[in-house]
Amino acid sequence: MEFTNAFKRGSKDTGIGQIECQTLEYADRVLVTVSLNGEVDTTYDLPLNSLGDVKRPSRRYDLDLEMENEENLDEDGNHAELNNSIVPNLIIGVGNLKTEVLASQIGLLLNQFTSKNIILNISGKFFKGDEYSEGDYQVLHVLLALVRESYLHETPAKETEKITKTRAGRDAPL
């Protein structure tokens, strides 16, 4: 079996630490590691749909409730709103809502390019607790850009530098 370019790596040295993403692609799965200063403590299994099956779910206000559109109903007659999301399964560690959302978003991102099962090793220190903190969205954006860069071997966008500098000013452990 040929494993040409199976190992890919991307990193970003920011004011908050060294963020590194490594992907290792096997015949049946992709191993993704996103670390902060070389540290990971949580592992998720991300079972993906067939390539291209993930579609944007319908929104409640898009539905004409008086005329039930068969395209928006599942086989039980319920509205098919969120059945296309990626649900991460915690394997090791203590996950919280923010890392689960990050894992789900990484799954949705990579499902655009592969249908292989994903094992995600990630640091739980990217976010501070379960409560909303200013800058959480920017951290999510930076991490998704780094995963995409690592998997596709793309050059990082200049916007990620600006976002990480914004996040670096916080008092969070990141």
pLDDT number for residue 78: 52
Burial string for 133-145 (b: 16+ CB within 10 Å, else e) reads bebbebbbbbbbb
Q: Which residues pair with 43 in a beta bridge?
A: 92, 121
Give domain limits for the chain. Answer: 8-48+86-168
Taking the C-alpha atoms of 52, 53, 56 and 58 in order, what is their torsion angle to the nearest 10 degrees?
Answer: 150
Q: Write out the chain's pLDDT in tens, 174 residues.
A: 445 557 888 888 876 789 999 999 998 899 999 999 999 999 999 998 765 555 555 444 444 544 455 555 556 555 455 445 788 999 999 888 999 999 999 999 999 999 899 999 999 898 887 788 888 888 899 999 999 999 998 655 444 444 445 444 444 444
pLDDT number for residue 29: 92
Q: Which long-range contacts (CB under 8 A, 24 or more apart) does 151-158 make?
A: 151/8, 151/23, 151/30, 151/32, 151/110, 151/113, 152/113, 153/5, 153/8, 156/10, 156/12
Regarding the domain delimited by 8-48+86-168, which CATH topology (the fold level of the hierarchy) does it fall under? Ribosomal Protein S5; domain 2 (3.30.230)
